[in-house]
Amino acid sequence: MSSTAEPDSVRRNCRAARESSPRSARVVTVTPSSCPGVSRASEEAAITELDPPVGAHDHVAGPLEAELTLVEFGDFECPYCRDAAPVIDEVRAQLGERLRFVFRQFPLYEVHPHALAAATASEMAALEGRFWPMHSSLYAPGPPRLTQPDLREHALAAGVDPERVVWPATRLVEDRVEADFNAGVRSGVRGTPTLFVNGVPHRGDVTVRALVAALTA
């Protein structure tokens, strides 16, 4: 969390700005795994296959032609995604050039009120070739810091103009976030993080050992 609280007027203005966008309004949550009444079994049964497959439209860390592929549908405000981030970093370190890691946006806006703004901020950084530095900064250890002032600070850390990562500049990439979200819906994603290992839904633990074993099986 930011060490300095945002004034109420700023919070109201930021929320009004986000909600005024018709595209942003369509990026809404599906039932997350933490919601009552949704069993893990039914959630897993809904996940089918990755649609679309990994391609030129994706954010890819690692060789494009790597033999192993790990895809995450993630939310920058989700505590489980934040816990998974260092695990995935270690998996990438262990597998090196054998692995390509792909991140797709799945902001659960109704559950995490700052997730959509963080997603669009990262996409604006991507336009300047700085998606992965922004991704790393947004997932830095500790509580999420995702207010508009925080996003400006993350942009500076990632080498991006801070005014480029906040509304209204971020309207430019709302369609990009929506496309990832819709890809998740088509793929059966209902919560975050959802991982696909070599194109197949990962149903095991999100640990270094489990992910390395699944990837190399």
pLDDT of residue 204: 93
Nearest one of 212, 205, 207 to 94, comparing CA atoms: 212
Instruction: Please state whether 200 falls in left (phi above 0), alpha (psi between -120 and 50) or beta.
Output: beta
Torsion of CA 122, 180, 216, 203, to 10 degrees: 110
CA atoms within 13 A on the CB side of 39: 3
How many percent of the chain have pLDDT more than 90? 76
Tell me the per-residue pLDDT of 118-136, one tens digit each, with 9 for 90 and over.
999 999 999 999 999 999 9
pTM of this prediction?
Answer: 0.81
Tell me the per-residue pLDDT of 54-107, one tens digit each, with 9 for 90 and over.
999 999 999 999 999 999 999 999 999 999 999 999 999 999 999 999 999 999
pLDDT of residue 83: 97
Report residue 19's pLDDT band, with 50, 70 and 90 as the boundaries: very low
Report residue 29's pLDDT band, with 50, 70 and 90 as the boundaries: very low
Write down the mean pLDDT value for the chain: 84
The answer to which of 43-52, 127-136, 186-195 has the lowest mean pLDDT is: 43-52
Helices (H), 77-191: 79-95, 115-127, 131-138, 148-158, 174-186
Higher pLDDT, 49 or 186: 186
Under 8 Å between Cβ of 171 and 36: no
pLDDT of residue 54: 95
The mean pLDDT value for 17-27 works out to 37
Higher pLDDT, 66 or 25: 66
> Could you tell me which residues are beta bridge partners of residue 71?
102, 196
